[in-house]
Structure 1
Amino acid sequence: MGRTSRKRSTSASRAIIASAALILGGGGLVAVNVHASAGEGASGSPPDRSWNAGTQMSTIDCPDVGNELPDVPDEARGEVDRELAAMDTQITEAYQQFADRKDEMSRDPNLVENAVLGPLKDKRTAGIDRISTAIGRSADRPERLDGLAPCSLRADDDNASGTDGGSGQAGDQADSRRAEQGQAQDGGRGGDNGQGRQGNGPEAPDFVDIQSVQPDVDKPRLRRGASRGTFTTDCGRNENGKFNPDNVIVAPGVSNGAHHMHDYVGNQANDAFADDDDLANGDTTCRNQGDRSTYYWPVLRLQNGTAENDAAADGGGKDQNVGEIQTPSQVTLKFVGNPTGKVTAMPRFLRIITGDAKAFTNGDANANASWSCTGFENRQLKDKYPICPDGSQVVRSFAFQSCWDGRNTDSANHRTHVAFARADGRCPNGFKAIPQLVQRIVYDVPPGPGFAVDSFPEQLHKPVTDHGDFINVFDDNLMKKVVSCVNGGRRCR
Structure 2
Amino acid sequence: MGRNTRKRRMPLATRIVAGAAALAVGGGGLVWANFYASAHEEHGRHDRTRSAAVQVATIDCPDVGQRIRGVPHRARGEVDGELAAMDSQITDAYQRLATTRRAQAGDPQFVQNAILGPLKDRRKALIDRIKLEINRAGGKADDSLDELAACQGRPADQQNGGQNGGQNGGGQNGGGQDQGGDDNGNGVAGPVAEDFVDIGDVRPNSRDSRNGLAADGDGGSTGTFTTDCGVNENNLFNSDNLIAAPGVDNGAHHTHDYVGNQDNNAFSSDEDLADADTTCQNQGDRSTYYWPVLRLQDGTEEFDANDQGGGAEGNVGRILKPARAELKFVGSRQGDVVAMPKFLRIITGDAKSFTNGDANANTSWSCSGFEDRQVTDKYPLCPEGSQVLRTTNFQSCWDGQNTDSANHRDHMAFVQEDGRCPEGFRAVPQLQVRLAYDIPTPAVENGQVRNPYAVDSFPEQLHKPVTDHNDFINVMDENLMNKVVDCINRGKDCR
TM-score (norm 1): 0.83
Residue 286 of structure 2 corresponds to 292
Distance 2:53 2:63 in 1: 28
Is 2:221–2:331's contact at 8 Å kept on the other side of the alignment?
yes
TM-fit CA distance, 1:342: 0.9
Matching of residue 273 in structure 1 with residue 267 in structure 2: yes
Structure 2 counterpart SS, 1:442: strand
Paired residues of 1:56 and 1:155 also in contact (CA < 8 A): yes
Partner of 2:400: 406
**For 2:57, what is the secondary structure of its paired residue?**
strand
Q: Distance in 1 between matches of 2:68 and 2:352?
A: 16
Alpha-carbon separation, structure 1, partners of 2:324 and 2:247:
31
| 1:209 corresponds to 2:198 | yes
Q: Contact 1:22 / 1:58 at 8 angstroms: preserved in 2?
A: no
Q: Secondary structure at the match of 1:116?
A: helix
Q: Decide whether the 8 Å contact of 2:285 with 2:480 is kept in 1.
A: yes
- Using a 3 Å threshold, how does the CA distance of structure 1 residues 222 and 492 change in structure 2: closer, same or farther? closer
Deviation per CA, 1:264-295, whole angstroms, max 9, x where unpaired? 00000010000100000011000000000000
Answer yes or no: is 1:332 the counterpart of 2:331.
no
Q: Which amino acid aligns with 1:271?
A: N
2:367 aligned residue (334, 352, 373): 373
1:164 touches 1:205 (CA, 8 Å); kept in 2?
A: no
Match of 1:452 among 431, 447, 454: 454
Residues 147-162 of structure 1 aligned to structure 2 (within 5 Å): 147-157=147-157, 162=176
Offset at residue 133 of structure 1 (A): 0.1
TM-score after normalising by structure 2: 0.83
Q: Is the 8 A contact 1:135 1:142 kept in 2?
A: no
CA RMSD across the alignment: 2.6
> Structure 2 matches for 1:59-70, cutoff 5 A?
59-70=58-69
Count of paired positions: 431
Q: What does 1:87-166 align with in structure 2 at a 5 Å threshold?
A: 87-137=86-136, 138-157=138-157, 162=176
More helix by share: 2
CA contact (8 A) 1:246 1:257 kept: yes
When residues 154 and 23 of structure 1 are mapped into structure 2, their CA distance, relative to the original with a 3 A threshold, is farther
User: Is structure 2 residue 414 aligned with structure 1 residue 425?
Assistant: no
Structure 2: how far apart are the matches of 1:409 and 1:94? Answer: 34
Within the alignment, does 1:483 sit opposite 2:485 as a pair? yes
Tell me, in whole angstroms, the C-alpha distance in 1 between the residues paired with 2:245 and 2:178: 38
Q: Distance in 1 between matches of 2:65 and 2:276?
A: 29
Structure 1 CA distance for aligned equivalents of residues 38 and 83 of structure 2:
30
Q: Specify the code of the residue in structure 2 equivalent to 1:273.
A: F
Partners of 1:307 and 1:324 within 8 A in 2: yes
Identity %: 61
Aligned position for 2:256: 262
Aligned-residue offset at 1:186 = 4.2
Residue in structure 1 matched with residue 299 of structure 2 by the alignment: 305
5+ residue gaps, structure 1, are: 6-17, 31-51, 166-177, 189-198
Judge conservation of contact 1:399–1:439 (CA < 8 Å) in 2.
yes
Q: Does 1:474 align with 2:476?
A: yes
Q: How far 1:102 moved relative to its partner? A: 1.1
The verdict on how the C-alpha distance between 1:60 and 1:54 changes in structure 2, with shifts beyond 3 A counting, is closer
CA-to-aligned-CA distance 1:108-162 (integer Å, 9 cap, x gap): 1222122211111111000000000000111123211111001110011268775
The whole-number CA distance in structure 2 between the counterparts of 1:209 and 1:156 is 21
Please name the residue that 1:13 is paired with. Answer: none
**Farther-moved stretch of structure 1 (349-358 vs 213-222):** 213-222
| Cα distance, 1:56 vs structure 2 | 3.9
**Structure 2: stretches of 5+ with no match in the other structure:** 6-32, 40-44, 160-173, 444-451
Alpha carbons 2:387, 2:437 under 8 Å: kept? yes
